[in-house]
């Protein structure tokens, strides 16, 4: 919609000095999300909503995929030299 292309974003280096800050925020967000997802589930909330086993498994699966993608994104600058 705004015309951002992969080539333009790939050449954007103005945010590179802030990379450790972004990695830290991402790590904190993943840790907090992992804590909430993998803790023991309550039986039911006050308003009567309950988390089913299937919903919890789906949440854990999606979280695992997102975490794997984040780890690949973290490691990519170090592994990129093997591809070029």
pTM: 0.71
Model confidence pLDDT, tens digit, residues 21-73: 989 999 999 999 999 988 887 666 667 667 778 888 999 999 999 999 999 88
Residue 1 has pLDDT above 60, yes or no: no
25 assigned to some structural domain: yes
In 3-state terms, what secondary structure has residue 16?
A: helix
**What are the structure tokens assigned to 28, written together?**
């904190």
The pLDDT score that the predictor gives to residue 11 is: 67
40 assigned to some structural domain: yes
Considering only residues 14 and 67, tell me which one the structure prediction assigns the higher pLDDT. Answer: 67
The conformation of residue 43, written as its DSSP 8-state character, comes to S
6 assigned to some structural domain: no
At residue 18 the predicted structure's pLDDT band, cuts being 50, 70 and 90, is: confident
Helices marked H in the chain:
6-10, 19-38, 53-79
26 assigned to some structural domain: yes
């Amino acid at each position: 919609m705004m015309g951002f292309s992969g080539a333009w974003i790939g050449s954007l280096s103005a945010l590179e000095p802030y990379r450790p800050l972004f990695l830290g925020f991402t790590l904190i967000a993943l840790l907090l999300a992992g804590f909430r997802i993998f803790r023991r589930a309550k039986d039911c909330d006050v308003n009567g909503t309950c988390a089913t086993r299937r919903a919890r498994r789906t949440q854990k699966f999606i979280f695992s995929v997102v975490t794997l993608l984040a780890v690949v994104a973290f490691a990519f600058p170090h592994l990129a030299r093997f591809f070029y």
